[in-house]
Structure 1
Amino acid sequence: MSGVRGKPPGRIRIIGGSLRNSRLDVPELAGLRPTAERVRETLFNWLAPVIDGARCLDLCAGTGALGIEALSRGAASVQFVEREPRSAQALRDNLARLGLGATGRVAAVDAAAFLAAAPQPQDLVFLDPPFTLGLWSGLARQLEQGGWLAARAWIYVESPRGGVLELPPTWQLHREGHAGEVRFALYRRALPLS
């Protein structure tokens, strides 16, 4: 569920890449917080050197704006995970309308349950769970220990500003920013030398 409140539910815009200015239909659901355009713009500027051809996982996808933005900018594939049925269906509908059915897949399941299944290592993960549920540490641990991250994976984390997160020590902060009451940060996985 993307973090910074941007445009209200209804429609949001893809801001870059091949789908620039495409609109996403967004259901009106309590707690759904699409990531603001300015935050997405900053994030994808950071990711520009590595997004092309990346395998991505959009956990707690909500509107799917982060994952669809990644596909628009050249990601090879995105696995979207969204437990809320109406959000998952809206995401499927948006992917079909935008012609992304072959590269974007939606799992309508809880993120922790999804991560308990057989892993598929990802190059980039968007970790933006609902702020009220406090899921960051548990999901981060599952990602790290469950084999979901490529050796040098990138992990985007969106969380309340001032919150303290317990993230794996192998996740090294690359860049961060703030927008209102939200902190957004990009980490790089760095395994210790053996």
Structure 2
Amino acid sequence: MRIIAGRHRGRRLEAPPGEATRPTADRVRQALFDMLWHAPWGGRTTIQDQLVLDAFAGTGALGLEALSRGADHATFLETGRIALAALRANIAACGEEARTAVLATDATRPPRAMVPCGLIFLDPPYGKGLVPRAVAALEKAGWIGAAAILVAETGEQEALDLPGFERLAARAHGAAMLHVLRAPGDPGC
């Protein structure tokens, strides 16, 4: 596993052994970031200069990819002890300690956000209905900014309905389904 593009392109990322952490595959991350960058609803500003939240962060591959491509800051939420060690090692290997925060907390019970984020990644374990629960908790805690782009990875057969969110895209990649949605609100607020 490696960073695909940007200033950390080619940087190898550490992944914990075993099945507990399921990092997003390089090819899926490439497809996702190409979509964010090139889709009619996307563009450079979807990533560049954004505050990013990587919930269920695991290795941090999604948030670190966003930083590599020009995001301003990434906050990572993760509870697994082994995943947290890999996440911190990956942040250090990229030299991104100053532009990151790691919170050892559950995305379904997050602390209050200091500032809302414009790009949110959710990659929880499949089949447990965690995306809607996390989105509700993150909204309540102020993590999701007005008109923020939310990317959720679920199992291919999982339905995802988030009332109030505009569905921008859904793409199957093997056993994974990437859902891209826009949060309610006016980004100018």
- Which of these residues, 113, 118, 143, is aligned with residue 112 of structure 2? 118
How far 1:146 sits from its partner (Å)? Answer: 3.0
Alignment partner of 1:142 is 2:137:
yes
Q: Distance in 2 between matches of 1:95 and 1:159?
A: 25
The amino acid across from 2:161 in the alignment is E
Structure 2 counterpart SS, 1:142: helix
Root mean square deviation of aligned Cα: 1.5
Alignment partner of 1:22 is 2:22:
no
- Which of these residues, 13, 36, 45, is aligned with residue 47 of structure 1? 36
Q: Distance in 2 between matches of 1:189 and 1:94?
A: 29
Alignment partner of 1:185 is 2:174:
no
Contact 2:153 2:179 in 1 (8 A): yes
The amino acid across from 1:180 in the alignment is G
How far 1:16 sits from its partner (Å)? Answer: 0.7
Aligned structure 1 segments of 4 or more residues deviating by more than 3 angstroms: none
Alignment partner of 1:70 is 2:59:
no
Percent of aligned pairs with the same residue? 39
Q: Distance in 2 between matches of 1:70 and 1:181?
A: 23
TM-score for the superposition, normalised by structure 1: 0.86
How far 1:59 sits from its partner (Å)? Answer: 0.4
Number of the residue aligned with 1:3: none
Gaps spanning 5+ residues in structure 1: where?
Answer: 1-11
Gaps spanning 5+ residues in structure 2: where?
Answer: 38-42
- Which of these residues, 55, 60, 67, is aligned with residue 59 of structure 1? 55
- Which moved further from structure 2: 25-34 or 77-86? 25-34
**CA displacement 1:97-119 (0-9 Å, x = unmatched):** 21100012211222223x2x222
TM-score for the superposition, normalised by structure 2: 0.88
Contact 2:149 2:180 in 1 (8 A): yes
Contact 2:127 2:154 in 1 (8 A): no
**CA displacement 1:123-144 (0-9 Å, x = unmatched):** 0110111114331111111123
The amino acid across from 1:135 in the alignment is L
The amino acid across from 1:54 in the alignment is Q
Alignment partner of 1:128 is 2:117:
no
The amino acid across from 1:141 in the alignment is A
Q: Distance in 1 between matches of 2:157 and 2:93?
A: 38
Q: Distance in 2 between matches of 1:162 and 1:27?
A: 26
